[in-house]
Amino acid sequence: MRVSRSAGIVVGDWPASPEVVALVEGAGALLAWDVLRDDVVPAARVHDPERASEWLWEVYGDAADAILGDADEVDVPVAGDWRVRDACRVVAQLNWAEAWWPASVVAGVPALDPAVLGAERAVAVSTVEHVLDDPDAVERALASVVSFDVTDPELVGLADRVGVLAEDYGVVLALAPAAVAGRSEFALAAGGVDWSDEVAVLTGTSTVDWTLVPHGVVDAAAPVEWAVVRRQGATVLEVSVAAGPRPGPLAARMGEVVVALDEVDGLGRITGSAPVPPTVLLLPPDRRVVTVYAPGFAVAPSGPGAEARRAAIIDYARSRVGSPGATLTERTAR
């Protein structure tokens, strides 16, 4: 693995896009896996070599000394006791799932149960407590645990482990049931925007840049549907996007026109409209693009390859549901 020292110590190739980063914040270093790659060994950013030296050997073995020394290239041994590294990978995967899991009715990716995720993360965090930057990480994780359905035998075992862990750490679990979004609560993705009472002059679709909206606000795979319509002598831009399991405030922009998406139609989609000048019809095609974003959340535009990357992440998430190699949270998504 390549070791760069131009800005701290960077081991390996840091994932290029935030949507694919499974991250663990260790004491003195960050560990990152790219979920779309099969790499067992993570990339790392070491910002405090002294603190990181206490545990980095459990991730990189004998190569840790060279990483913290002056090596520009290291070979991480294949043989070794990698239980801590594997446990860090589970914590990282759960962190990724909470932030980026692409729940989508359109793509057939079920929503995760946040209660199961919280419980599994508490157990996983307890196995790597000495690695993490937060000395109270286990207690914090346990504090967020809520009740979940334990009809699945695997979930019964998880509930038992969480109970034992809470007793060991002296934490009283606040077992209020969590609200879990079911398939029926997602936007009904069939059909497009209803423009039957007006004349649609221009119509189109855009993809949602996941970095511009909080996780779960929109259906991860559904397109943004828009139309420039003539209604009672006025020209209006109408926008619609399928809601995700956790809808929130959104807006849309085409050029200089901003549309507040603050209504919900009969199919559960988040919609809005705003007047536009007739000259919008003269815009070249590359400027007739509608971008959906959450005001105050992000303003960055989509980068090259964003659409293909989204499709790959959706395929990846779909493959995790029911997979023996996935986390319990992903396996039992429904």
The per-residue pLDDT for range 225-257, each reduced to its tens digit, is: 999 988 777 889 999 999 998 888 899 988 778
Asked if residue 60 is part of any domain, the answer here is yes
**334 domain residue, yes or no:** no
Q: Are residues 176 and 193 in the same domain?
A: no
Residues 292, 190 within the same domain: yes
- Tell me: do 259 and 155 sit in the same domain: no
| Backbone angles phi and psi of 227, in degrees to 5 | -155, 140
Q: Is residue 105 one of the residues assigned to a domain? A: no
Last residue within a domain, chosen from 139, 155, 180: 180
Q: In whole angstroms, give the CA distance from residue 113 to residue 255.
A: 38
Q: What residues have CB less than 8 Å from 210, skipping those under 6 apart?
A: 19, 100, 102, 220, 310
Select from 71, 100, 129 the last residue of a domain: 100
195 shares its domain with 299: yes
* pLDDT score at 308: 79
DSSP label at residue 286:
G
Do 126 and 163 form a contact (C-beta atoms < 8 A)?
no
**65, 100, 135 - which closes a domain:** 100
325 in a structural domain:
no
pLDDT tier for residue 299 given thresholds of 50, 70 and 90: low
- The confidence score (pLDDT) of residue 233 equals 72
SS3 67: helix
DSSP assignment of 92-122: HHHHHHHHH---BTTTTBPPP-HHHHHHHHH
Domain span at residue 272 reads 184-309
- Say if residue 202 is in the same domain as residue 305: yes
Q: Does residue 106 sit within a domain?
A: no
Question: For the chain, first and last CA: distance in Å?
Answer: 38
User: Lowest-pLDDT range, 120-129, 151-160, 277-286?
Assistant: 277-286
Question: 74 and 14: one domain?
Answer: yes
State pTM to two decimals.
0.76
What's the pLDDT score for residue 234? 80
Structure tokens at 157: 């075992």
Does 243 lie in the same domain as 157? no
81 phi and psi angles, rounded to 5 deg: -95, 100
| Tens-digit pLDDT profile for residues 26-59 | 999 999 999 999 899 999 999 999 999 999 999 9
54 lies in a domain?
yes
Residue 327 within a domain: no
pLDDT score at 106: 84
What is the C-alpha to C-alpha distance for residues 215 and 24, in angstroms, rounded to an integer?
Answer: 19
Do 268 and 229 reside in the same domain of the chain? yes
Mutual angle of helices 153-169 and 114-127, in 10-degree steps = 50
Q: Which residues pair with 218 in a beta bridge?
A: 243
**Cβ density class 5-18: b for 16+ within 10 Å, e for less:** eeeebbbbeebebe
**Sorting pLDDT into bands at 50, 70 and 90, what band is 195?**
very low
Dist CA 45 CA 14 (whole Å): 8
- How many structural domains is the chain composed of? 3
Cα(69)–Cα(273) distance, rounded to whole angstroms?
A: 59
Give me the pLDDT at residue 180, please.
47
CA nearest neighbour of 46 among 28, 32, 64, 61: 28
Residue 166 sits in the same domain as residue 214: no
